[in-house]
Amino acid sequence: MLTKAPDGKITALLDEFNVALSSGDIERAIALFQTDCYWRDLVTFTWNIKTMEGKDQIRDMLQARLADSKPSGWRIADGEAASEAGGIIESWIEFETDVARGYGHLRMKDGRIWTLLTTMAEIKGHEEKSGSTRPLGAKHGHGKDRKSWREERDQEITELGHAKQPYALIIGGGQGGIALGARLRQLNVPTIIIEKNERAGDSWRKRYKSLCLHDPVWYDHLPYIDFPKNWPVFAPKDKIGDWLEMYTKVMELNYWSSTTAKSAKYDEKAGEWTVVVERDGKEITLKPKQLVLATGMSGKANWPTYKGQDIFKGEQQHSSTHPGPEKYRGKKVVVIGSNNSAHDICAALWEGGADVTMVQRSSTHIVKSDTLMDIGLGALYSEQAVASGMTTRKADLIFASLPYKIMHEFQIPLYEQMRERDKDFYAALEKVGFMHDWGDDGSGLFMKYLRRGSGYYIDVGACDLVIDGSIKLKSGKGAAVRELTETGVRFVDGSELPADLVVYATGYGSMNGWAADLISKNVADKVGKVWGLGSDTTKDPGPWEGEQRNMWKPTQQEALWFHGGNLHQSRHYSQYLALQLKARMEGIPTPVYGLQKVHHLG
C-alpha cells in the first residue's frame, strides 16, 4: 500500500476541512485538529488579530463566525508544494471567505492540524491595482482641458484636509505611519499622515549620529519597494531617513510635516473624530472617521525622577534627545541604562573623547550581531535565505505562523547555541561585573522584544569597550541612583560619580500615553496598556493575551488604532490594519471576535 506524499496528505485534510466548514459541521472540523492546536487569524475570520489556542477556543470562534464568514476553496497555494520534515508536514494554503481572499500556512502533525495561520490577502472587489491590473498612467486618446498627473496630484494635495476630509488620519510619520499610509494609498483610502518634524525621516536623522539599524536589511524592507541590492546590511540612520523621505514622495503619500496634533475627541453619534492640528503656525480642524496613533512603540520617553535633578548643574538628556558626542570631548558623562541605546551612546561618547560610565541597574540580555544573524535570522532573513527562494512575504508569514504561546520553545534552542558559540565573550562580560540574562525562560532577544520591548542589546562592538574598561561600568545592587548632586550622581551604596552630562537611557512607556496626551486619560485607560503578550514575565504582566496588546487591531475605543513596532512589524502588520480600515470605509460588516479586555492601564 502506497503512503501518500505530503501534497496528498495536505490536500486530503483540506478537502475534509472544506466539507466540514461548508456544511456548518463544526465538530467535524474540530476533529481535524490536534489536541494541542493553534489557529492564528489575521483579520480573515475574526476581524481582529487573534490566536485561538486549543479545540475549545477554535470551536467558540467557529460558532460565532462560521455562518458569516462562509469559508470555501481550501487548497494548497498555487505554485507551492507541501514539505515534510521531522514528522511535521507544512504547506502554504489559499482559501476564500464571503468577502475576502485568504492566504495562510498549515502545519500537520500525526494527520491533524497542529498550527493554522489564516490571513486576509485582499477584499473582493477592492483589490490593489498591481501587476497586470496596474494603472495605465498615460492618458491615451484626447480631450480638452485634461489635467496632467501633476495637476491632479496638486489638486489632491490642496483639497485633502480642507475641502475634503480624510477617512483616516495617521499621527506619526515615522516608518510605521509611512508604511500604513502606503498600504492605504493602494486601497484608495483618503489618508493624511501628520509629523511634527520638518521632513520625513527626521525621526531618524535627529537621533545620535552613530545610530544604525541593528536589524539586517532583509528584515527591514518597506511595503512595495525593497531596498536596493547594494543597500548596506545595517543602514545608518541618515540613510534610512533619506529612504523614508524618498518613499513618501514616490508612493504619493499625503504627508503633512511640521504639523502637531493638539487635541482629539470622538463623536460617537457622528462616528468621527475632531482633531485639531497646528500646521505652519495655523490651526486646522480635521474630521477623520478613523484615528491611528503611529507614534512608535518606543516613542513616549521614560524620564526617571530623582531627587536633586533641579540642582544638578550639568546637562540632562533622555537618550531620544541625545544629539551625539561632539561637544562632550573631555567631559564626564554618566549614562543610566544598559540596553541598546545606552551601549550605542556610550560607545560614541568614548570614540568622541568623553569619559563615560554606564550605570547598569538590572540585567541585560546581550547577543552578538553576527551570531544573531547566523543562528537567529539566517533561515528567514539573509542573503542565503533569498538565494534559496525565501521571499520577504513568506518569511513574515512563517514568523507569524508560530503561535506566541509556543514561540519560546523554538527560540530557546537557538539561544543555547548562541550561548555556546560565544561562551568566552559572556565570561569576559561577567568578569567585569556586567549582569547578563537570557530572558526569564532562556528564550532570548525576540521574546524579550515581544513581551516587553526592552532589556537587550545587539552587540556591534560596544561590549568590547565595557570588557576592556574603556566604557566604565557601575553595576549591581549599589548601582541604583539615590539622587543627583550639583556635580554628579550619587548611588545607594554611597558612592558618587562626577558628571557634566547625565543621559537617561531609560526606555519608553506604553503607547497609550500618547492617547492620554492627545485625547484624554479616560480614553487611555479605556484602551489600556499597549504592547506585551501577558506572559507574566518581567515587565509583561498577565493574564495571557496571546497577541500584542492593542496593536494593529480594534481597541476598546471605537475608531482608535495603534500601529508601529520595528520595520518588520510596520511592514507586515500594516497590511492587516489597512484592510480593516478599508472594509469599514466601504461599509463591509466587520464584527470583531474576541475584542481584547483591559487588565492594565499603562
DSSP codes of every residue in 4-38: PPHHHHHHHHHHHHHHHHHTT-HHHHHTTEEEEEE
Report CA torsion sign: 317, 321, 327, 328: positive
Is the backbone of residue 110 left (phi > 0), alpha (psi -120 to 50) or beta? Answer: left
Segment 480-501 shows an average pLDDT of 96
**What pLDDT score was predicted for residue 2?**
44
Question: What is the number of alpha carbons within 13 Å of residue 566 lying toward its C-beta?
Answer: 16
**What pLDDT score was predicted for residue 510?**
81
With a CB cutoff of 8 Å and minimum separation 6, the contacts of 136 are none
Query: Helix (H, G, I), strand (E, B), or coil: what is residue 44?
Result: coil
Per the listing, cell 541618515 goes with 238
Q: How far apart are CA 195 and CA 203, in angstroms?
A: 9
Per the listing, cell 495603534 goes with 562
**What pLDDT score was predicted for residue 561?**
98
483-487: Cβ within 8 A, 24+ apart: 483/306, 483/307, 483/308, 484/306, 484/307, 484/308, 484/309, 484/311, 484/312, 485/308, 485/311, 485/312, 486/308, 486/311, 486/312, 486/313, 487/312, 487/313, 487/314
DSSP state of 514: H
The answer to whether 172 and 517 have CB atoms below 8 angstroms apart is no
Q: How far apart are CA 306 and CA 339, in angstroms?
A: 20
The answer to whether 202 and 594 have CB atoms below 8 angstroms apart is no
Strand 456-459 versus strand 33-42 pairing type? unpaired
Instruction: Give the largest Cα separation in the chain, rounded.
Output: 85
**pLDDT > 70: what percent of the chain?**
99
Question: Could you tell me where the DSSP H helices lie in 402-540?
Answer: 404-421, 423-431, 444-452, 462-467, 512-518, 521-527
Q: What is the pLDDT of residues 37-74, one digit of tens each?
A: 999 999 999 999 999 999 999 999 999 999 999 999 99
552: closest CA among 105, 177, 92? 177
- How many Cβ atoms are within 10 Å of 409's Cβ, its own excluded? 11
497: closest CA among 470, 479, 523? 479
Q: What is the pLDDT of residues 420-453, one digit of tens each?
A: 999 999 999 999 999 999 999 999 999 999 999 9
Beta bridge partners of 39: 52, 116
Q: What is the pLDDT of residues 447-482, one digit of tens each?
A: 999 999 999 999 999 999 999 999 999 998 889 999
Residue 27 grid coordinates = 465538530
DSSP codes of every residue in 360-387: E-S-BEEEEHHHIIIIIITTTSSHHHHH
Q: H-helix or E-strand containing 282?
A: strand 282-286
pLDDT band at 511 (very low <50, low <70, confident <90, very high): confident
**What pLDDT score was predicted for residue 1?**
36
List C-alpha distances in Å: 429 to 22, 346, 414, 475, 544. Answer: 59, 16, 20, 12, 34
Q: What is the pLDDT of residues 272-321, one digit of tens each?
A: 999 999 998 999 999 999 999 998 766 678 899 999 999 999 999 999 88
**Interior/surface letters 191-214, b for 16+ CB within 10 angstroms, e for the rest:** bbbbbbbebbbbbbbbbbebbbbb
Q: How many residues does the chain have?
A: 602
What is the amino acid identity at position 196?
Answer: K
List C-alpha distances in Å: 100 to 247, 294, 577, 589. Answer: 28, 26, 15, 12
**What pLDDT score was predicted for residue 299?**
61
Residue 267 grid coordinates = 463623536
**What pLDDT score was predicted for residue 315?**
97
Q: What is the SS3 assignment for 59-120? A: HHHHHHHHHHHCCEEEEECCCCCCEEECCEEEEEEEEECCCEEEEEEEEEECCEEEEEEEEE
- How many Cβ atoms are within 10 Å of 485's Cβ, its own excluded? 17
- How many Cβ atoms are within 10 Å of 47's Cβ, its own excluded? 26
Q: How far apart are CA 544 and CA 529, in angstroms?
A: 13
Q: How far apart are CA 497 and CA 12, in angstroms?
A: 70
Q: What is the pLDDT of residues 96-136, one digit of tens each?
A: 999 999 999 999 999 999 999 999 999 999 999 998 999 88
